[in-house]
Amino acid sequence: MMFGFFADLGRAVLDRVNRLGRASIFFVQVLAASWQLIPRFQLLLQQIYAVGVLTLLIILVAGLFVGMVLGFQGYTTLVRFGAEDSLGLLVALSLVRELGPVVTALLFAGRAGSALTAEIGLMKATEQLAGMEMMAVNPLMRVIAPRLIAGMIAMPILAALFSAIGVLGGHLVGVELLGVDSGSYWSQMRENVDIYDDIFNGVIKSLVFGVACAWIAVFEGYDAVPTSEGVSRATNRTVVYSSLSVLGLDFVLTSLMFGEA
Amino acid sequence: MVDRRVVEIWVGVFVLLGGLALAMLAFMVGNVRVTELFGAQEYQITAQFDNIGGLKVKAPVTLAGVRIGRVSSIYVDQQDFRAVVEMTISNSYNNLPTDTTAIILTSGVLGEQYIGIEPGGEETFLKNGDQIILTQSALVLENLIGQFLYSAGGDGDTDGISKLAGTLERLIERLFEEESKKGAK
């Protein structure tokens, strides 16, 4: 009775560590196979289209609305202190430092990550991956690597677009609707947003999130139990794990980047 | 499957949009000037202060209110324990006289501190690496109150201090009244 509890706990921990180890080996194997993509550039383009271009619309709409809401909320708070001129700064810093990379990564996990897992899981369930191996085609190179690399490339671009359109959304509400001076909206932003501290660190964040989301998505697909139920569970796990790891990584990265200031 | 040509066009557009967004963030949101990318035309000068107050790296350096440079680093001179402030000034302002004064000022009541430059009348100009001799330290509120109290009670009687305390109390009460009026509005 007593030992049963310890055994369950131990098994759970061992399973998870085991899975993490397999995921790490898988990641290294895929990266090692990915140089073979150079002569097969077309594969990568297909995946950038599937992962990046098709996610564009939801990112742009979300960015615009997040920017507009920041404009409203920021204005009602700042106007109390007579500091509504700093609205541009508030909107830009919130977006570039935090909301841009994080919300983009969460949407990316939901829109692109789940699709990747389902696609790869289904390929596995219908034994397409095994078929490739029979034909001496390495599925890691042919299927997994383009998707992983495409995710890494697409995430920073999507996050930059999210932040950029969010700033415009804040301008739309703050300047056009609520009457903040357009000059001070931009100049306050320009004075206080730093190219390295804020923008470059934001790009680094989105790159890290891109690696995490794409890695989790392809591994969950590749590791899925090859049944319809297994694929659905894997897809579920992709979204949950991606979101949690993005939020956790964000805390770590933020405290590393902005902690000492 | 979408046509290969269409995929290529869309990916091209996607990457281009991403580049544009980054450029917009860098140039419109961040403060990158094109000249800064190709090796900025600027020079360094230093100034020593007894006390820099809340001055920070990257604070603006202004001449007649116009920004001409920024504070690039702040450290303490180990010999005489004064603060040394290094400033980077744009090369378009390379004709500052050697007897120029550097003053630490505050924008607004609670604003950020910055350095104001007041040019002197010498014929020779400050060069890269030169030091501004004439400086004026930041106003530190605690020191100011201390000095004021000291001069008020300087002649031995404590009468001055209690008078001052009374004045301060009335002042603070007035401030609170005005604040609450503002709040009521």
Top residue of B29, B58, B66, B114 to mutate, by most chain A CBs within 10 Å, is: B29
> ipTM value of the model?
0.76
> Which helix (H) or strand (E) segment is A21 a member of?
helix A2-33
In angstroms, the CA A26 to CA A239 distance is 19
Please check the confidence at residue A103 and state whether its pLDDT lies above 90: yes
Indicate the CATH number for domain B41-136: 2.40.30
Contact A44, A150 (CB under 8 A): yes
Domain boundaries, chain B: 4-32, 41-136, 141-184
Top residue of B14, B16, B71 to mutate, by most chain A CBs within 10 Å, is: B14
How many alpha carbons fall within 13 Å on the CB side of residue A99?
23
Contact A214, A113 (CB under 8 A): yes
Backbone φ and ψ of B135, nearest 5°: -135, 160
The CA distance from B144 to the nearest CA of chain A, in Å, is: 27
Q: What is the CB neighbour count within 10 angstroms for residue A164?
A: 26
Q: What is the CB neighbour count within 10 angstroms for residue A23?
A: 17
The CA distance from B149 to the nearest CA of chain A, in Å, is: 32
In tens, the pLDDT along A112-157 reads 999 999 999 999 999 898 899 899 888 888 889 999 999 999 999 9
Could you list the residue range(s) of the whole structural domain that residue A131 is in?
Answer: 2-258
CB-CB neighbors (< 8 A) of B8 in chain A: 45
Report the chain A residue with the minimal C-alpha distance to residue B26: A195
In angstroms, the CA B31 to CA B85 distance is 22
Least confident of A48-57, A79-88, A165-174: A79-88
**Mean pLDDT (10-residue bins), chain B, 185 residues:** 79 89 79 58 87 82 86 88 89 85 79 84 85 83 76 61 78 80 62
N- to C-terminal Cα distance for chain B?
64
Q: Which amino acid is it at A48?
A: I
CB-CB neighbors (< 8 A) of A56 in chain B: 14, 17
How many structural domains are present in chain A?
A: 1
In angstroms, the CA B55 to CA B95 distance is 25
C-alpha of A191 from chain center: 29
- pLDDT band of residue A102 (cuts 50, 70, 90) is very high
